[in-house]
Amino acid sequence: MGMIDFQQDVLTRSFEIPVVVDFWAPWCGPCRVLGPTIEQLAQEQEGQWALVKVNTEEAEDLARQYQIRSIPNVKMFYQGKVIAEFAGALPRKAILDWLDEHLPNDAKQAWSAIQDAVANGDPEGVAQLQAYVADNPANKEACLLLAQQLIWQEPAKALALVEDFHQDDLSLWESAEELRVINTFLAGEFDDSPAGKALTQAQGALAQGDHEQFVLRIIQATMADKNYADELPRRLAIAVFHTWGVQHPLTRQYRRRFDMALY
């Protein structure tokens, strides 16, 4: 294309369709390799995204504004912002993978909205999440998020959602292990030792919906005996804080107190 109007052709247009900008220069050898490949993909995927090529020799201000330090440099604009980028002459398959990962679509936006609803405690969030998992059973992040919501009331259903998680995806597997720790606590019968009594009291607080007392009793059990029942109080507290998330008010209030109880 000839001279471009960056505001119109990229920023404004990106509110209608993602715009991929290829920053290049005539003297750049890798640019001559990348250019035809990305142009071909733009033709093949016409309607999904638009391609704009910016010659950095002719648009030095833009190159400075977008901190182009090496070329080729490719940035994806969506709703006026850069949402993804890569540098260098990637092969066709790698560019396809990049596009697949970063192009916004309805499914990704729906999943993002559900995550926000659940995180914000929207009463509709869990129902939306259950419907999403039913339609997208291969989305392990969604299965885990639903399991984290269900573990307290329907532990068997929660554990079924994560039973095929493997250690090759370590973060997902560790999160699933934490749900198993919570289940061990929920189903546990504890002795009359100080740690055992505190865990029994934690079960009672949870049954009454008193989450603050629930956390305090777990911390009490940790202080009484870190090694009780294969370190259950310590592992339980970590599992609860991770499952609730860092923004949960009780995580923010008591995580530090728990950490101090370990020492």
Catalytic residue numbers read 28, 31
Distance of CA 103 to the CA centre of its chain: 16
In the numeric block, which tokens belong to residue 222?
Answer: 């940790």
Cα gap 174→165, rounded to integer Å: 9
Cα gap 172→210, rounded to integer Å: 28
Cα gap 181→175, rounded to integer Å: 10
SS3 166: coil
Q: Kindly give the residue spans of alpha helices, DSSP state H, lying in 104-169.
A: 106-119, 125-135, 140-150, 155-161
In the numeric block, which tokens belong to residue 140?
Answer: 């392990």
Q: Which residues contact 78 (CB under 8 A, 6 or more apart)?
A: 14, 18, 19, 104
Cα gap 145→129, rounded to integer Å: 8
Across the beta sheet with 19-24, the strand order is: 50-55, 19-24, 73-78, 81-87
